[in-house]
Amino acid sequence: MSPGVTVQTRPAVDLSQLGRTLWQVGVRPRFFAGRKGYLQRFDANARRWRKIKAFRLSSRRAEYGWSFVRFKAVVPTGTQVRAVVPRSSGKPCFLAGYSFIMKKR
């Protein structure tokens, strides 16, 4: 018998701006319900991502294989933002997941 192989994959992360301060994050698979994630902004001066808001994906709003959360966060217009689900939230099967980078409107 051959030794086991661990296969890790990244979760799908979707970030949407629903209003001036209202955001929604969806993560697939539903395994992530109840797990933590972060909204981050890019700091051009320091050339790194900074945490704006922590969130916990809802187990009540899990449908069609996705876990969702809605939250409020004040972000200046034009700021680059992304949603991140860290590796610690998906161990041992999943790597960290990142949404596409978007500019706050």
> For position 102, what pLDDT does the model report?
96
What's this model's pTM, rounded to 2 decimal places?
Answer: 0.88
Residue 102 in tokens: 């978007």
**DSSP-assigned letter for residue 94:** B
> For position 58, what pLDDT does the model report?
83
Indicate the pLDDT class of residue 1, thresholds 50, 70 and 90.
confident
Supply the mean pLDDT for the chain.
90
Domains along the chain with CATH numbers: 12-103 (2.60.40)
> For position 8, what pLDDT does the model report?
81
Reply yes or no on whether the pLDDT at 16 is more than 70: yes
The CA distance from 73 to 18, in Å, is: 11
Residues 52-103 pLDDT 10s: 999 999 877 666 788 899 999 999 999 999 999 999 988 888 999 999 999 9
Closest CA to 71 of 25, 14, 13: 25
The CA distance from 44 to 49, in Å, is: 9
